[in-house]
Amino acid sequence: MKMGGDMDPIIRVENFTAAYGGSVIIDNISFDVCPGEVFVILGGSGCGKSTVLKHMIGLYAPAAGKIIIDGDDISTAEGEDRLRILKKIGVAYQSGALFGSMTILENVRLPLEEYTDLSPEAMDLISLMKLKLVGLSGSENKMPSELSGGMQKRAALARAMALDPLILFLDEPSAGLDPITSAELDELILRLSRNLKITFVVVTHELPSIYTIADRVIMLDKRIKGIVATGKPQELRDQSDNAWVRQFFNRQVESEVAA
């Protein structure tokens, strides 16, 4: 069961408000994410998707509300408590955010070096296996600057997976990838979700990817600064009574919906 309800949520966002410099971006939203669920945050440009994600991973403190990760509030946790929460999550950033002075293998290896007691050979093997999973075998000795944007994104995903976290946050993982690589990435997300019960929180615009991977989506709308729809993507596409939501899922321009 992945639709919430009979399972304790692994992430709980309660009455969350985000604001930059007095300007409210997200106003009082609440939602839950269940263990093993692939949860997609979507919406139009500038609606605050990445803002929600950055608050969920503890980069910013909410203006109001709580963000509970596996029982602990990441927005108020400090020191060891915060570190304990951060070890449960992995984040793949939109730009990759790989460390430019390290090889791809060293980037993936870094969390293992810092947080495990594995031997160097074991760390190398795990890093190579993660890179294999994201289709980057053979690129382990390259520097990030030698990789294309799409390859950097995949390397970032490998780094995010290095410690096999409970929750993986992915910011636009398929943007800029070719369709085959994008489909492989979707397959990987589904496999990890099903086999290891890893929870995914994905911010994306890619509709084919959303239909393939998402167990549930929330859709943000900047006009109401909140959630305009929640549910399975196929249901929202076909049955939503909100015209803008249908328009989004059917890739229609406003005039077509009006007609």
The residue ranges that bind other proteins (CB under 8 A) are 7-8, 10, 35-36, 70-71, 88, 99-101, 105, 112, 115-119, 121-122, 124-126, 128-130, 132-133, 137-138, 140-141, 143-145, 161, 163-164, 166, 191, 194-197
We find the least distance from the C-beta atom of residue 104 to other proteins, in angstroms, to be 11
CB nearer other proteins, residue 148 or residue 250: 148
We find the least distance from the C-beta atom of residue 191 to other proteins, in angstroms, to be 7
Classify strands 89-92 and 199-203 as parallel, antiparallel or unpaired: unpaired
Classify strands 38-43 and 199-203 as parallel, antiparallel or unpaired: parallel
Residue type, 217: V
We find the least distance from the C-beta atom of residue 200 to other proteins, in angstroms, to be 14
CB nearer other proteins, residue 34 or residue 214: 34
CB nearer other proteins, residue 92 or residue 112: 112
We find the least distance from the C-beta atom of residue 63 to other proteins, in angstroms, to be 28
Q: How many residues are given for the chain? A: 259
Whole-number Å distance between alpha carbons of 255 and 240: 18
Number of helices and strands in the chain (H, E): 10, 10
We find the least distance from the C-beta atom of residue 198 to other proteins, in angstroms, to be 8
CB nearer other proteins, residue 35 or residue 44: 35
CB nearer other proteins, residue 137 or residue 230: 137
We find the least distance from the C-beta atom of residue 255 to other proteins, in angstroms, to be 33
CB nearer other proteins, residue 22 or residue 100: 100
CB nearer other proteins, residue 45 or residue 145: 145
End-to-end CA distance of the chain: 39
Whole-number Å distance between alpha carbons of 63 and 44: 22
Q: DSSP letters along 184-252, please?
A: HHHHHHHHHHHHH--EEEEE---HHHHHHH-SEEEEEETTTTEEEEEE-HHHHHHH-S-HHHHHHHTT-
Please, are residues 38 and 190 in contact by the beta-carbon 8 Å criterion?
yes
We find the least distance from the C-beta atom of residue 177 to other proteins, in angstroms, to be 19
Please, are residues 131 and 140 in contact by the beta-carbon 8 Å criterion?
yes
Classify strands 11-20 and 23-33 as parallel, antiparallel or unpaired: antiparallel
